[in-house]
A and B are shown apart, each in its own frame.
Chain A
């Protein structure tokens, strides 16, 4: 029982990341009809917003101690972050919370990047074949990766969660089980709650605001909305930027779980596309449901008991489930008729 609860929790936080990336992907596809292979790179850019913010906060005053030397004979450098030197304990507190605070940097950066990307590149491919869209966005993803690698290097850069949520909670003990049986990191719980909040915010925005209503109308019938005198193009540009922000925030908050490196977006991209296809192209609830479903299935497939019966199942479970779902429901779990069928 404890193993099942643990794998369920694992699947939920993994599913949270898949759902957030897939949500942005399907939002872009549903509004603009663009297959965006650079979406994983947006997740990676968000993560590097957290790295950049931390590096900015960690800028150091470098002094040398002439009485001590390094192993290679130069005077020993003493480094103190400016923020700690000038703000003392408050500076230390800000540095400790650099990951959640970096959301403040990530939102404008990702909004701006999403806007520039859509206006500068994507809009020129609206009426081109999906293959062209895939090629250009995949190329962009590679360019972004290489830029990040040239600036930050290829090694993962660790980002610590704040001290208050470091460590793990003994969920088993709270449920009346033996202590230490179900232990789960606090930050993963924070991530799960964060993913839920972002998904809820996006849905509320689309459901309960006039802007969201127009976007939904545009997704259903772009031409008619245009005939009503509404500049749907401009709204779709904003939707693209919002999707970039969602992917970026998912990346920011994921950094204490997975030390970011330049390739992390690609690792999530393929799985997120499978999530979108399983959920149904263009379906927002489908993307979220499929994200959690596939995350949970992937976790269960990694259990030793299951791998003993079906070796290697953890590697193929997602694709196997995708095949089965597409055979039974060719439009995915919640796909709409007519999407990508012409």
Chain B
């Protein structure tokens, strides 16, 4: 007796090989459990998996590490461990610390390396192999835009981490993508009145700008608002990302007639350009009978630590700061500080809040279907998360909330006490029409 109905021959082997090859070549996204249900990666067991995609290596690894700490803390709080953190102050009371929609929250992590291709690859892996229903994270606008686009194509929600370019919720916005962090338009709107009060309206600004999407976006926004209040732009010079030594870009500032240097740099570039600008005596210089000043429109505490004493007295904006005294901020600083021994960064705050907002939307929608969650997030008004009353605007998926203007502290009391909040700019002052930044949300994709 034979196990084969027909004897094996060359043709049947070739046919079987071709079929097997085709099966193996099929992307796993089409063969995963995604396709067994009404939407991609519908959780069928006792757990729901979230994907935390942060830079674990590369230049933003420290920021990524802080984001990951915040995500882990959020998962703890969602599952009822720890002191509950912001669940205690969040205006929505849907989440009870017993998971989301009756399922325990689990997570997987990916390393973006702050590179778009690596970030897309790790997000793809978490969606296809690990069954993540939501991807969140990132410390760069280029990466955020790339991953947001991937999530849209795949059919999962993307909750952006630290991304400040207007484009994320402007020309590159997507129906499946949401951003809690502020943008360069808001930084400009918040910073300009403070700069006007501090330095007057008769100023000449010289911009040094990181030559990529976020740098261009910030330069444009800051120019728009400073020129609007009477400042002149002496020059706007693009600098290569990761230039290291900025001296050849700083020395032309000395004799340009400018009396303000705007550093549209972030991370290591900001640390290096600010340090070198101070070394060249720009902060002690007098031009046109006025004191020369430096402005860093986007600040982070981790960057301020890198720049050391050089940040003293320098204005900038930030999404959130641990010294805020509202109940939400105090609760988050307490939870994070007790867990890790130091205060959270703004990157940690936005990532923690995004996780809770996603979980709350899923709980309110009663499902993990991305389109139902998107609908629950659109137009959602909330409070108690550390930024005052906040709106997730439906038209562009951008959060609108108060923006902080900060200044490098003259007499820090600890290694974390580097920035002081000089103004909380109300939400109404940083709002703008949704169509202003262009782009189309398009249709929601649930992967089905």
Contacts and interface: CB of A to CB of B under 8 A. Distances in A.
Count class of interface residues, chain A: 35 or more
A294 to B, nearest CB: 13
A125 to B, nearest CB: 27
Count class of interface residues, chain B: 35 or more
A118 interface: no
Nearest to B276: A257
A75 interface: no
Interface string A293-321: 00000110011100100000011000000
Contacts of A182: 254
Interface string B29-67: 000000000000000000000000000011111100000
Contacts, number: 129
Contacts of A149: 57, 61
Contacts of B248: 7, 10-11, 14, 298-299, 302-303, 314
Given A257-B276, A258-B244, A73 B334 contact: yes
A156 B212 CA distance: 21
Contacts of B254: 6, 180-183
A258 B343 contact: no
B279 A185 contact: yes
Contacts of A13: 247
Interface stretch (B14-22, B267-275, B427-435, B440-448): B267-275
Contacts of B336: 72
B352 to A, nearest CB: 15
A168 interface: yes
Given A304-B237, A315-B240, A74 B268 contact: no
Interface in B60-119: 60-62
A258 B240 CA distance: 16
B245 A259 contact: no
Contacts of B289: none
B306 A154 contact: no
A154 B305 CA distance: 12
B280 A168 contact: yes
Contacts of B338: 72-74
A315 to B, nearest CB: 6
A70 interface: yes
Interface in A1-42: 2-3, 6-7, 10-11, 13-14
A231 interface: no
Interface in B268-296: 268, 271-272, 275-276, 279-281, 284-287
A10 B251 contact: yes
A21 to B, nearest CB: 13
A153 B61 contact: yes
Interface in B302-346: 302-303, 305-310, 322-323, 330, 333-338, 341, 343
Nearest to A256: B279
Interface in A185-210: 185, 187-188
B82 to A, nearest CB: 13
Of B251, B268, B305, B308, most buried by chain A (CB within 10 Å of CB) is B251
Q: B interface, by DSSP: helix, strand, loop or mixed?
A: helix
Contacts of A160: 308-309
B306 A155 contact: yes
Contact of A156 (B268, B286, B330): B268
Given A6-B254, A183-B281, A304-B235, A156 B271 contact: yes
A263 interface: yes
B251 A71 contact: no
Contacts of A257: 245, 276, 279
A154 B267 CA distance: 10
A267 interface: yes
A264 interface: yes
B330 to A, nearest CB: 7
B252 interface: yes
A231 B242 CA distance: 45
Contacts of A6: 251-252, 254
A217 interface: no
A179 to B, nearest CB: 9
A112 interface: no
Given A153-B61, A155-B62, A259-B271, A72 B343 contact: yes
B249 interface: yes
A164 B427 CA distance: 47
Nearest to B305: A155
A220 B311 CA distance: 53
Contact of B60 (A11, A154, A184): A154
10 contacts: A7-B251, A13-B247, A70-B337, A71-B322, A74-B341, A154-B61, A155-B303, A155-B305, A188-B247, A259-B308
Closest 9 A/B residue pairs (Cβ): A72-B337, A168-B281, A302-B248, A154-B61, A158-B308, A185-B279, A6-B251, A299-B248, A156-B306
